[in-house]
Amino acid sequence: PPPPPPPPPPSVIGPVGGLTANLVIFSNYEGGSLTINVDVDLPYLVIGVSSYGTMNITIKGPYAANVQQVVWAGYGDAGTSSFHCFSDPTPPYALPVTQFSPSNLGIGFLYPPVTLANPNGETYIVCASTCDNFNYQGGCNTPDQLIDYFKQQVSLMTGTTPTLALYHTIYQCYMGTLDLSSSGNCPFNETVATVAAATTTTMPTTTTTTATTTTTTT
């Protein structure tokens, strides 16, 4: 396995001031370009994303200002020539691991150690593509490992334990826009917010994301 990266910074956002942070998680194996339309009013929102492949993440929508931070953690095709959802660039394969738009919202961690042990998952945060905690995930993490990791990251950032509003996962590339109001295909939600459960696992391909600045922390 790769060597563990240094620990994350102790604080990124700062104290919530009595509010409970809301956490939403998106994961897959392939990576891709994920535009998240924040069309649900979830205050003090932190978005966790995990993928094996490179991921471009764009935040938009009527409640986009609620988003305090986007935290990506995964493998990110680090140091390899396999980019899954994107054309392979010319060696030495300098495609950014993860791109964020707006760039000031994003922070990334390359395969950090897990915070919850599960023999069906991994010892590092790599990727996740199912809702299954009880069967071997073939080299990816179990959902409970991602949930625990991102909850701990949000706790470090805000000083409070967040509420998991939704968890959405697929295997294939994220391509296009995903509305929060139609997201959440794993039954791990801890809030009664108006976030509908989605049953589809195919993504629209009509929206192209634009991620202009790279933010990568190891």
What confidence score (pLDDT) does residue 118 get?
Answer: 96
What confidence score (pLDDT) does residue 200 get?
Answer: 31
Question: Which residues make Cβ contacts (< 8 Å) with residue 65, sequence separation at least 6?
Answer: none
What confidence score (pLDDT) does residue 78 get?
Answer: 55
- DSSP 8-state assignment for residue 134: S
Chain length of the chain: 218
Which strands form 98-101's sheet, in the order they lie side by side? 174-179, 32-37, 55-60, 98-101, 213-214
0.75 surpassed by pTM? yes
What confidence score (pLDDT) does residue 93 get?
Answer: 39
Mean pLDDT of successive 10-residue stretches along the chain, which has 218 residues: 48 55 94 92 93 89 93 76 61 51 81 95 96 95 96 88 93 93 86 37 32 34
What confidence score (pLDDT) does residue 192 get?
Answer: 42
Model confidence pLDDT, tens digit, residues 18-46: 568 899 999 999 988 899 999 999 999 99
Strand-pair category, 213-214 with 98-101: antiparallel
> DSSP letter string over 29-60?
SS-EEEEEE--S--SSEEEEEE-SS-EEEEEE
What confidence score (pLDDT) does residue 160 get?
Answer: 81
